[in-house]
Structure 1
Amino acid sequence: MKISDVLRSKGFGVVTITPDETVSGLLALFHENRIGACVVSTDGKSVDGIVSERDVVRSLHTDGTAILLGPVSQIMTSEVTTGTADDEIATLAATMTNERVRHVPIVDESGALTAIVSIGDIVKSRLNELQSERDQLRDYISQ
């Protein structure tokens, strides 16, 4: 299965934030959208970085509450692992595990942002696939 299969059921919506937005604004965005990571983008299509709840927590621990008034660009990850809709789910899952990332922006052939996939999306897809295989085997055996 490919990432495009995950996106067909999940959807292509992506919440982005500009690098100059405050961390406090980021937290509000997380809360409003019930998300744990956000793509940082100057134009809504480029992937300039990614920022997660973990980034906020780590920065709070090391730098204190002053980071809440600072820009997202100070705490974001600039080197972002991306994927494409044509990537195999297993390949992206392995990449996420090896690089210890929980969210991967999905880009098209021009590098433009099209979606985001979380490790939860990958697990849900895999569970659905296993359930379908189980049902098919049970139907085959009972015939």
Structure 2
Amino acid sequence: MRINDVLKGKPSHDVITIAPDASVRELVDLLANHNVGALIVSVDGQTVDGIVSERDVVRRLHDREDVLDILVSEIMTTTVRTCEGTEALTELMQVMTEHRIRHVPVLTDGKLTGIISIGDVVKNRIGELEFERDQLDNYVHQT
């Protein structure tokens, strides 16, 4: 299975981005309104300048009481692991596990085309296992 196959199964194909000069307050609003755990930071909506997650906000709360008023660029991760939609899902699963990352931007020809989360991967894997179980169950009960 390819990463694009998982993206096709997502209810929304929109990739929500935020500008690096947006406030963390704006970030929190977008995360809540779109019910997502991370956003791609992008100046133009097509390139990946960084990624920022709920965890980034929470980790800064300990150090800064004014975290909601600072810029996204101050808390975002700038070294972002990305993938191509044509890559095998098993490879992405390994990368996500090894590097303990939950969200990976998907690029096509260097342009942002999607984002895949660990939840997307798990949901897909559960679907595969349920299909295999059903196939085995049918096989056993037909003989």
Measure the CA separation in 1 of the matches of 2:89 and 2:42. 25
1:2 offset after TM fit, Å?
1.1
1:140 offset after TM fit, Å?
1.8
Letter of the structure 2 residue corresponding to residue 54 of structure 1: R
Measure the CA separation in 2 of the matches of 1:30 and 1:134. 36
Provide the residue aligned with 2:79 in structure 1. Answer: 79
Aligned with 1:42: secondary structure? coil
Taking every aligned residue pair, what percent have the same amino acid on both sides?
50
Letter of the structure 2 residue corresponding to residue 79 of structure 1: T
Does 1:133 pair with 2:132?
yes
Measure the CA separation in 1 of the matches of 2:114 and 2:65. 31
1:141 offset after TM fit, Å?
2.0
Aligned with 1:28: secondary structure? helix
Measure the CA separation in 2 of the matches of 1:8 and 1:33. 18
Measure the CA separation in 2 of the matches of 1:32 and 1:45. 21
1:142 offset after TM fit, Å?
2.0
Question: Which ranges of 4 or more aligned residues in structure 1 deviate by more than 4 Å?
Answer: none
1:35-67 CA distance string (max 9 Å, x none) = 1100000000000000000000111112x1222
Aligned with 1:81: secondary structure? coil
Aligned with 2:52: secondary structure? strand
Q: Aligned ranges for residues 52-91 of structure 1 at < 5 Å?
A: 52-62=53-63, 64-91=64-91
1:11-36 CA distance string (max 9 Å, x none) = 42111000000001100111111111
Structure 2: runs of 5+ lacking an equivalent: none
Measure the CA separation in 2 of the matches of 1:91 and 1:138. 29
Measure the CA separation in 1 of the matches of 2:141 and 2:2. 30
Letter of the structure 2 residue corresponding to residue 19 of structure 1: P
Q: Aligned ranges for residues 94-109 of structure 1 at < 5 Å?
A: 94-108=94-108
Once the two structures are overlaid, the 10-residue window that deviates more, 67-76 or 46-55, is: 67-76
Provide the residue aligned with 2:49 in structure 1. Answer: 48
